[in-house]
Structure 1
Amino acid sequence: MDTGRDGDALSHLLAGYKSERAVTARFSLSAPWALHSTGVDGPLIRLCTGAPYWISVADAEPVQVAPHDIAMLPQGGAHTVSSAPGLEARPFRELIAAHSTGRHGDHPIVFSHGGGGPVTELFSLHLWLPAQGLGSIIASLPPLIVLRQAQIPTTASLALAMETLVNETVAQRPGWQLSAARMADLLLVHILCEHLYAQPSAAPAGPAAPAERLGTLRGLDDESIARAMALMHERPAHPWSVATLAQASYLSRTIFSERFRTLVGVTPMHYLGSYRMTLAAEKLRNRQLSLHQVAESVGYESEKAFSRAFQRWTGLTPSAYARRHGAA
C-alpha cells in the first residue's frame, strides 16, 4: 500500500489541511507595557518590528523575541508579552473588547497601548483549525517555539510577508480573510518543518513525557513509521491493525511495533486511538454531525463502543463533552 508521497510525510499529513480562517491583529505598544492572554483555541503566531519584546509561558523563564523573529504558541496557551520581564500585566481581553468590531474574527484588531517609550509593533495571526485539523501533531509540540531570523535565513522573508499581510488586512480589501488564512498555513508548515529538524533535546519540556511530546515529529523523520502515521491520518476510519500497518510500512510486525514505540513513545494502536478521539472531540465541539456520524468517521460502527472509548479518553460521555465544549 503506497501513499505515493513517502519521501515527505509531513507534506502528506498536511496536504488536506487548510485553516478555516485566521484572525489578524496589529498592536502598537510603547514601553513600559505588559499584556496577559488567558489563551486562545488554536495556534497563535506573533512577530514584531521596532523594539524587541519578552514572552513568558506558564512557569518558564521569559524569552526575548527580536524584530522579525517568529514566535508560535502551538496550542494557543496562556502567556504574557511585555517590554521587560516582571511588569504588572493588563488583560489582553480588555483592550481587544474595546477595539473589536462585530464578532471575533470578522475584522482585524488594531490598537495602541503603553507608556510612551520605545515602540514595539506586534503582529499576530490566530489560526482557526478545521475539524480535521492537526490533531496530535499540534499536541506534540512544546508550548512555545521561536524561530530566530539570525539562525534561519528564510524566517526573515516570511516575517516580512506576514507583516505586509497583516498591514494589508487592516484595509479589509476583498479577499483579505482568505489571504490571511493561507499565509497562516504557510507559516505553520514552515515552523513545523524547522522544528522537526531542530535538536529534539532543546525543546522545552511540558506536562507530557519528552518521548510523547516529541514522538509525532520524531516518527515523521523515519520513512517507514511516517508512512504508517500518514495512513492513519489520511484514513482514520479504516480498520487498521498492527499487522496491516506493518505491511504498509514494509516492516515485520515485530520490528514495526518496536520502532514505532521507540520513536513515537506509544504503541501504534494507542496513537491511532488518540488521533481518532482527538478528531472526534473536534467534531463534537463543532456540532455539525450526529453522534452516529461522528462515531463512523473515526472507525466505530457502534455508538455504544464509541461512547465507551470516548469516555475512557476524556472522562465525559460524547453528549456531555459536546454540551461543555460546544459553545466555546
Structure 2
Amino acid sequence: MVQVVVDPLSEIVSHLKPQIAFSKMVQGAGAWRITRENTGEPFYCVVISGECGLTLDNDQQRHLTAGDFVLIPEAFDFTFSSTAPAAGDDVHSLPEAISAGRFRVGDKGQAANVQLLVGHCRFDSLDAKILVALLPKLVHIRNATRLTRLVEMLIEESLARPPGYVQVVGHLLEVLLIEAFRTKINTPALPGLLLGLADERISEAIRAIHQDISQTKTVAQLAKVAALSRSAFFCRFKQAVGIPPMEYQVAWRMTIAKDLLKTRLYSMAQIAERVGYRSASAFSLAFTNYTGTSPSKFQHMAELTAS
C-alpha cells in the first residue's frame, strides 16, 4: 500500500479557498502616497521597475526595489509611497485609470519612474481567521522572478477573462501563495506554521496531525514522531507554531469538519468518525465548544451564506 505524502502548507492554502478580487498595474511619478485601511483582504504586489516605500501597521518603512514581491495575508493598514522625492504625510494620491487594468499616481507631467503589479484577493474559507493567524503578517521576497511571472499570469487571466478563467485564477492564486510561503520558510521570523515547518522535528509532528485526522494523536505520540521528550516537544511546538499541539490538532479537525458539514454529503456520525470523534454526540459537543454554534446550526448558516 502506497502511503500518501501529506503537505500541510498546501492543505492550508487549499482550505483558505483564495479567490481574486481585483488586480491592476500602477505607474507612479513624482511624490505620491497611497494609504489603504480596514480592508482585511490579502494583498500582493510585485515591483516591476523603479522603487517605492511600504509601511505596514505604522511600522518602519520598507524600501522596495525592482524584482521585490510582497504579500500581506490580512491587510488592514498599509501605505505605498514614493521614495524620491519623499512623499510627506500630507500627500494622499488617488490612482487614476488610464486604460483597462492600468492606473497612474503622482505627477502627471513626469515620466513614470516606478511600475507595480498589485492585487487583492479574498479567502472564502469560514476558517480563514484561524488559518491566517498561522501565517506570517508580511512576506517580502527579493528577486522574486517566479512570483513575478505568476502575478503577471494572474493579471492577464483576470483582465482577459477567457472561458474557464475562474478555475485558472483560483489555481494560480493557490500556487502564488504556496510559492511565497515556502520561499519564506527559509527565513521565518515569527511563530506560526512556517516556523513550525522550518523546524525539521516539529514539521514531522505537523505532518502526522494532517496525515490522518480520524486518529487522535496524543502529545506523547507526536513527541515520539518528533524524536523529542514530551516536555521538550510541547514547549518547542508552542514556541514555533504559536499554539499548543493539541490546540493545533483541534483547529485543523474543525476546519475539515466545517468543509464536510457544508457539503451535506455525510451524516453527523460519518463526519465524527472522519475527524476523530467516537460518536456524533461527542463531535457535536466538541464542535459547539470550539465554534460557539452546533453543527446543524452551522450547516444552516452556511446555506444562507451561499444562497
1:216 to 190, 193, 217: 193
| CA deviation map 1:274-307 (0-9, x unaligned) | 44556678899xx7669x96x8476564334422
Q: Deviations over 1:215-240 (max 9, x none)?
A: 43232123332122123235445433
- The answer to whether the Cα contact below 8 Å between 1:283 and 1:289 also exists between their aligned partners in 2 is yes
Provide the residue aligned with 1:30 in structure 2.
Answer: 28
Unaligned runs of 5+ in 1: 100-107, 150-154, 204-212
**Does the CA contact (< 8 Å) of 2:135 and 2:192 recur in 1?**
no
State the 1:60 CA deviation: 0.6
Partner amino acid for 1:77? F
Which of 166, 186, 197 is the equivalent residue of 2:175?
A: 186
Q: Indicate conservation of the 8 Å contact 1:27/1:123, yes or no.
A: yes
User: In structure 1, what is the Cα distance between the partners aligned to 2:150 and 2:226?
Assistant: 39
Moved more, 47-56 or 175-184: 175-184
Asked whether the 8 Å contact 2:53–2:64 carries over to 1, the reply is yes
After TM superposition, give the deviation of residue 80 of structure 1 in Å.
1.9
Question: Which structure features the higher share of strand residues?
Answer: 2
Larger Rg belongs to: 2
Measured in 2, the distance between the counterparts of 1:57 and 1:180 equals 27
What letter corresponds to residue 132 of structure 2 in structure 1?
I
User: How much has 1:14 moved relative to structure 2?
Assistant: 0.9
For residues 189 and 55 of structure 1, the distance between their equivalents in structure 2, rounded to whole angstroms, comes to 23
Q: Taking structure 1 as reference, are residues 161 and 239 closer, same or farther at Cα in structure 2, changes over 3 Å only?
A: closer
Aligned residue among 308, 311, 320 for 2:289: 308
Q: 1:244 to 1:186 in 2, by over 3 A?
A: same
Alignment of 1:47-126 (within 5 A): 47-83=46-82, 84=87, 86-89=89-92, 110-116=102-108, 117-119=110-112, 120-126=114-120
**With structure 2 as the length reference, what TM-score do the two structures score?**
0.70
* Matches for 1:245-256 after TM superposition, within 5 Å: 245-249=222-226, 253-256=230-233
**Counterpart in the other structure of 1:21:** 19
Alpha-carbon separation, structure 1, partners of 2:276 and 2:119: 34
Contact 2:134 2:241 (8 Å CA) reproduced: no
Shift of the 148–118 alpha-carbon distance from structure 1 to 2, 3 Å rule, reads farther
CA distance change for structure 1 residues 279 and 79 in 2, over 3 Å: closer, same or farther? farther
Q: Distance in 2 between matches of 1:307 and 1:184?
A: 32
Deviation at 1:249, TM superposition (A): 4.3
Equivalent-residue separation in structure 1 for 2:234 and 2:218 (angstroms): 11
Q: Which residue of 2 aligns with 1:268?
A: 245
User: C-alpha distance in 2, partners of 1:147/1:186?
Assistant: 16
Q: Is the 8 A contact 1:55 1:65 kept in 2?
A: yes
CA displacement at 1:85 relative to structure 2: 5.3
Uncovered stretches (5+) of structure 2, i.e. residues with no partner: none
In percent, how many aligned pairs have the same letter?
24
- RMSD, matched Cα: 4.3
- The one-letter code of the counterpart of 2:194 is L
3-state SS of the aligned residue for 2:74?
Answer: coil
